[in-house]
Structure 1
Amino acid sequence: MYRHLNRIAERIAILLALASGFVLLGIVVLTCVSIIGRALVPLNIGLGPIRGIYDITEIGMAAAVFGFLPLTQYREAHARVDLFQTALPNAVNLGLDLLFNVAMFVAALVGSYRLYLGMLDKKSYGETTLIAQIPVWQGYALSLVGCVAFVVVAAFCILRSARRLLGRGTVGEPT
């Protein structure tokens, strides 16, 4: 059962990270096209900048950041300060890992809840971006996908840390 959960968590994390990478590549391409179009305006050949590129970039970047969080959590790659880690016994370090994974789960849960409430708020008011008139709630919804996946992966990481603490797993390699 654990191996199955591990595979699911890993696949969710990797798929969202890949999708986020493609979103970032798309933003780069659109930005380049917009810059080229802006440079060609004086030539009067009908090309120009992409209308609302700033709005598209903002939404895409937010969604990408939240899409990378599950993989970061799965791989235990969040920034951490481990000044005393080598001085502490292994059991204490494993206990701290479990504590930190619980804290990340709580942070992910609160973040998802607040994003959800923000999305509902933006949708109820019909707020749109300034230039492209994209409904703002759509950016929240895209970000919420990554944040909910972050909750799921963080929950798995609690299980993984608990197994390590109980001696059923090894640090650095999921079992």
Structure 2
Amino acid sequence: MSAEELTEHAHPVAVPGWLAALCRLFAGIGGVTLLAMMVMTVTSILLRGVTGRPIPGDFELVEVGSAIAIFCFLPWCQINGGNVLVDFFTQKTSSRVNHLLEAIGDLLYLLIAALLLWRLFHGAAEMRQYGEQTMVLRLPIWTSFVIILPAMALLVASCTATLAGHLKGARA
């Protein structure tokens, strides 16, 4: 067997079409956010070099944009089996065993995602209540959660769907 034959590959499972479409939409939002951050960063650097004055709060916008992009990409990564896979022990195991192990991983990820969603919800509410803002632009921090919370809820739904798919694969 060649090294390529022994390398474990992800076992993505079928998810409902509406879920895949929502995950794709959020990944698109993450991509547009990254593109906007790139354009803003290049523009800020050019302005700093030419006029000596960058875009005010550019680092704040990159921080907020990075958080939004990361959370938007997580559900897409989950439904495509794109998370890190440690295949040292599973290279020669059956498909059923691999699905079972991935189901266990999905369950752990689901529990973590649900916990994060719960805490992010409360964190956003507190930030809104206390009026927490960014330092330079004075942007309300809670507004970024308008996208982050639905992205996390979508990750919970994605973990649930992949868990069900892997359990089905383990029984087959």
Query: Which band: TM-score by shorter chain?
Result: 0.7 to 0.9
Match of 1:7 in 2: 17
TM alignment of 1:1-175, pairs within 5 A: 6-41=16-51, 48-167=53-172
Match of 2:7 in 1: none
Aligned pair count reads 160
1:129-166 deviations in Å (ceiling 9; x for gaps): 00010001112332222111111111111121122122
Moved over 3 A (4+): 87-90
2:84 aligned counterpart, secondary structure: coil
Question: Structure 2-normalised TM-score?
Answer: 0.86
Question: Structure 1-normalised TM-score?
Answer: 0.84
Paired with 1:87 and 1:109, the residues of 2 have a C-alpha distance of 32
Counterpart code for 1:154? C
Gaps of 5+ in 2: 1-13
The Cα RMSD (Å) is 1.8
Match of 2:8 in 1: none
Gaps of 5+ in 1: 43-47, 168-175
1:157 aligned counterpart, secondary structure: helix
